[in-house]
């Protein structure tokens, strides 16, 4: 491999390590009964998400795209945005109903696997023209950010195991898992770095220890992710309609 290919692949490997460490922290949190470790696990999922967006931009800037890098990226997606959030769900919610506590994380992991397999099999452009189905990163972000918020003062009084916030959390998880395997089309925000840069800044703020900053960044990021999941197909549709009208006018001329 040339250095142009090695650099983005190295960033991809860092994203995979962040996802793997997130899983380890979640397991340690369950073992030691330390919910504060779930917050760290959530941070690492978000960090992996940013690194996963940076590697593609680096590959394009350096003209270092490769089949190896594309394959590596798929494994990162499954580990960091499929398995890691599923284990985090298992740790933080439905602890009184063991059957559903297993079924829901399994559904999230399987939905993510199906989403990634379909993406690989039917999208030769790898999302450059938009995604068919909600990207797996959206559900991972929903899980990670709500866990982060639930463990950050003063909002750590809310529980994801029971109560209205838990219902909201689980409803979002199920909804996003279903959207992943639909044919709704979504834009690729990481393709345009100007749109991706604010996401990098917001996730960076999740690690700032100054009181209140990380929590505010998490809430803003959560709202942006929810808006993307709900309005993304409408945006793609409006772009397609605009393009069709433009083509029609060009034909008339």
Return d(Cα 10, Cα 174) in angstroms, integer.
Answer: 33
pLDDT, mean over the chain: 87
Q: With contact defined as beta carbons under 8 Å apart, do 228 and 236 qualify?
A: no
Band (pLDDT 50/70/90 cuts) for residue 187 is confident
Most confident of 36-40, 235-239, 242-246: 36-40
Tokens of 154: 């003063």
Domains and CATH numbers, the chain: 3-252 (1.20.120.1760)
Residue that wins the pLDDT comparison between 14 and 210: 14
Return d(Cα 119, Cα 100) in angstroms, integer.
Answer: 28
- pTM of the prediction? 0.89
> Quick one: what percent of the chain has pLDDT higher than 70?
91
Q: With contact defined as beta carbons under 8 Å apart, do 230 and 179 qualify?
A: no
Residue 204's alpha-carbon distances to 150, 193, 200, 207, 221, in angstroms, are 19, 16, 6, 6, 11
Q: Which residue's entry shows tokens 């463990």?
A: 151
Residue 250 pLDDT = 56
């Amino acid at each position: 491999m040339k250095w142009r290919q090695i650099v983005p692949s190295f960033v991809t490997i860092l994203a995979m390590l962040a996802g793997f460490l997130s899983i380890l922290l979640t397991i340690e949190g369950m073992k030691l009964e330390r919910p504060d470790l779930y917050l760290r696990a959530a941070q690492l999922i978000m960090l992996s998400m940013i690194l996963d967006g940076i590697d593609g931009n680096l590959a394009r800037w350096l003209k270092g795209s490769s089949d190896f890098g594309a394959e590596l990226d798929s494994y990162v997606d499954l580990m960091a945005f499929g398995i890691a959030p599923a284990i985090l769900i298992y740790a933080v919610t439905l602890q009184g109903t063991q059957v559903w506590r297993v079924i829901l994380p399994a559904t999230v992991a399987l939905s993510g696997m199906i989403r990634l397999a379909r993406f690989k099999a039917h999208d030769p452009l790898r999302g450059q023209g938009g995604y068919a189905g909600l990207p797996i990163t959206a559900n991972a972000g929903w899980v990670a950010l709500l866990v982060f918020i639930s463990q950050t003062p003063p909002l750590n009084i809310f529980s994801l195991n029971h109560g209205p916030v838990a219902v909201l959390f689980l409803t979002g998880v199920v909804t996003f898992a279903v959207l992943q395997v639909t044919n709704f089309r979504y834009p690729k925000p990481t393709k345009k770095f100007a749109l991706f840069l604010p996401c990098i800044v917001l996730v960076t703020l999740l690690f700032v220890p100054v009181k209140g900053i990380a929590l505010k960044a998490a809430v803003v990021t959560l709202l942006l992710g929810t808006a993307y999941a709900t309005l993304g197909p409408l945006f793609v549709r409006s772009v397609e309609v605009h393009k069709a009208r433009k083509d029609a006018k060009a034909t008339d001329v």
